[in-house]
Structure formats: C-alpha cells, structure tokens
Amino acid sequence: MNYFDNDLIKIHEDLINGKYTSKELINYSLTESKKINKDCNAYNLLLEAKEKEITNNILSGIPYAMKDNISTSGIRTTACSNTLKDYVPIYDATIYKKLQDAGAVMIGKTNMDELAMGGTGLTGNTGIVRNPFDLNRITAGSSAGSAVAVATKTVPFAIGTDTGDSIRKPAAYTGVVGYKPSYGLVSRYGLFAFASSLDTIGVITNNVKDAAVVIDTIKGSDDNDMTTIKDMDDVKLTDYLSQNNHKKLFYIKEVIDKSKYNDENTLKIIDDFICLLNKLKEKGYEIKEESVDETVLNALKPIYTSISCAEVTSNDSNLTGISFGHRANGNNSIDIIKNFRTENFSSLIKRRFVIGSFILQKENQEKYFINAKRARRLVVNIFNELFTKYDGLIMPAASNIAPLIKDTTDEMGKNENVLDNHLVIGNFGGYPSITIPYNKLNNMPIGINITSGYKKDGEMLSIANNIESIIKEDSNV
C-alpha cells in the first residue's frame, strides 16, 4: 500500500478516522526514502522524525521534505555547498515555522544544485540527483531532490524554490506538479538567497489540489520579509478550485513555431501541445495565439543571467570562511577568503560569481545590470498587458524530455532555446506559474505550464485543476 497515492485531504481524513497513524506514515516515508535514495539521491539528510497530534489542519501528522536551502534551527542546512557543509542554523525560516505549527512532519532535506545555482541537479556536493524514470537522465534543478521525493511518492509534498524555473522544470521532467506562487505570497525569511528579486518559495506535489492546500498553509504576510503580499492573507486558494470560469488562454506563436526546430522529440511535444489545445477548446476554452517580438524572447536568458549573477554575487559575499563555515589556510584574511572559495566552490559557482562581479563593477553597471533590469521591465510590461486580456498563458514546459546525464553540461549559454527558457517570464513579473504533467514521450514525462497575472494565484489554480482533470480523463498520466 502506498499511502501517498491519495491526496492530502484524503490522507488527513484517513488519519482522523484512524485508518492509519501518523507514525505509520512517517515510518513508511522514511523506509521508502532510504530505498530510493540509493539510486536517485533525492535526500542528503533523513531525520528520525516523531509523529505529531492530528488536528483539524490538513497537514497535521503528514510527512514532507524540505529543500536544503531553507533554514531550520538545529538541523543541518547546507544548500549542497562545501562552503556550508557543516552549517547548522540558529533560527527557523518562516515557512518552516508555519509547517511546524500546522503539525506537518519534516522527514528530511532534499538535494539540490549548489546554492540553488543550476538547472541540472548535477552540481551539489552530495552528487548527482537522478531521474526515477531513467537513472541515466537528469531531473533538472535546482529543486531536483524535492521533485524526485514527490515523483517516487516517498512524501506527498516537498518544498522547493524557484528563481528561473527551479520548481517547474524538475516537475516537468519527473511527472509531478510544480507551483511557483506570486512573488511575495510566501515569506522568504530564512531562505538562503540566490537572486532576491526573482526567488520564490513554492511546492511540488502530485496534484493541483495538494499544491493549493500547502500554499494556503504557508502563505501570508511576514514582518521579517518586507516583500510579502499584504492583501492576500484571507484569500483561500482551495476555494478557487471548483471554479470553472477562467477559460481565456493564450500561447506565444513564435515559441511553438515548428519551423524553428528539427529535433523529433520537440516536434512531437509541439504536436501534442496543439492537440491538447484542441481538446481544451472542445471543453469551452477560448485559446488564441499572440505574437511577441523575437528580440524580446531571445533576450530572456541573457536578462536572467545578468540579473541573477549580479544579485547572487552580492547575496553570497558573506561566504568567506571567516564569519561562519570552516576556515581555509592563509597568511591573511584575503588569502583565507581566496583559498576558501577556490577550494570549496564548484566550477559553475565560480563562473557565476565572476560574471556577477564583472556586471557589478562600477564601469559596467549601466551597460549590463541596469540595462538588464530595463529589459526585464519591457518583458513585464508586455505580459502585464496580455494578462489584462487573458486568464493565463499556456505553453509546453520544456522542449524535450529530460536530457541524458552524459549529454548535460553546466556551462552557461549552451541552451538558448526559448522553449526551454520561457519559464523565467514568471519570475520576471512575479507571476504565479504552475507545471502539470500532460503526457509521456519515450516513457518519460512531459509537462505543460500555466502562468497567470500577478496575484491571480486562485484563478491560475482553477485553470490548472480543470485542465488536470481533462488530461486525466483522456490519458493514463
């Protein structure tokens, strides 16, 4: 019996009715996590978690997993970096406190790309995170372990973070639901910052309903995070799920233009996507194509690279090996810092810091950093206008199935395919964005993504929930 074949509401009902206990759920979760970890490497820390009292809160007594870049007092939190390999925080992230208060049971910390700076699941200091559908393939990242933990049903939900697509792309590659809420809906207090203007805490689940349940529990304004949304505290996202009146969608014509691609898998994914659109139209959806200047679309990746590298270089300047972390050898503070960073950062991290430092140099800021922010504003203005006309943007989540590990590189600038990079639009505008499984290709999952206007999380979830039900009616996903 897999307890997590059921959704969170059903699991809670079964706990209330005594069909099984929280202890049984936790033991099952830990046992299965240890099994899958041998092959997939989803977790870097498993805890001897204790059962909690079952209350009216849906999450009470239910195990979950936490990405290893969210602060948990007294529990090792390393962001999968050698610079933090023994770090134990002295305070709790707001999201962890909320889950604790709800009675949810954290059973472990999940592996990720080092310091959340990567999209492969290959760069963390604990090794490669492998795709459970094919161990020779990647999961994407950086929330790699969280996606695998849910995809293998070792937990019913896992917390992740998303700066460019780090929840939604792994969800697409592993056949689960990945939800990035509106920027500020969930407090980032206690998150190890990557790019603060883009970072969002979200959730990975096996269905849309569970995603709404979890975010309802962890969302809310927070005095410790000035960017949190103040006017959505009383909004209950699950109330939107039964609604079925948000049916005006668009897709970007230039991104799914088949003439731009020659890969058979990409062409098949686009064909399947068009078939899905036709099914949705039969169900009453109004779906139109919209044209976006290709110069703007081709700028998405460079904009993201410039802003994220600059912000993370500033945010991680405290990783010196002096204030905290293990010391490196050196005759003075400069040598200690240089040796600490040289010895402990992976090649990807070093490259991003070099790029970020270059961009932030006084003589370069206007040309690169400020212009990247101006370009981001241009993108956001375009999509803000589109979201006044439509309830959401619907697109394939990726151009292909999960790549083979042997064919994957951590070199930046190697993949400028807009079909693989459009998810950053959600981060640029702070928009709610969700990936749901749609189909399989060569026995590997493929997903679709839905993005809506800022603070339109409920409307987006209602669309995703309805489309999820249509997909399940028509397939074995």
Which helix (H) or strand (E) is 337 found in, with range? helix 333-344
Please check whether residue 42 is in contact with residue 154, taking contact to mean a CB–CB distance below 8 angstroms.
yes
- Give me the long-range contacts of 279-283 (CB less than 8 A, separation at least 24): 279/470, 279/474, 280/249, 280/467, 280/470, 283/470
Selecting among 29, 81, 146, 166, the annotated active-site residue is 166
Please check whether residue 306 is in contact with residue 359, taking contact to mean a CB–CB distance below 8 angstroms.
yes
> How far apart are the C-alpha atoms of 299 and 425, rounded to whole Å?
11
Overall residue count recorded for the chain in this entry: 477
> How far apart are the C-alpha atoms of 447 and 434, rounded to whole Å?
10
Please confirm, yes or no, whether 166 is among the known catalytic residues. yes
Both tokens assigned to 450: 């839905």
Please confirm, yes or no, whether 33 is among the known catalytic residues. no
Nearest Cα to 351, choosing from 412, 421, 435, 272?
412
Selecting among 142, 143, 182, 306, the annotated active-site residue is 142
Residues with Cβ within 8 Å of residue 331, at least 6 apart in sequence: none
If you ran DSSP here, which 8-state letter would residue 170 be given? Answer: H
Using CA atoms, how far residue 162 sits from 22, 58, 165, 166, 285, in Å, is: 30, 25, 6, 4, 29
Selecting among 29, 60, 67, 456, the annotated active-site residue is 67
Please confirm, yes or no, whether 462 is among the known catalytic residues. no
Both tokens assigned to 246: 């948000």
Backbone angles phi, psi at 451, to 5 degrees: -130, 135
Nearest Cα to 59, choosing from 96, 110, 100, 17?
100
Active-site residues: which are they?
67, 142, 166
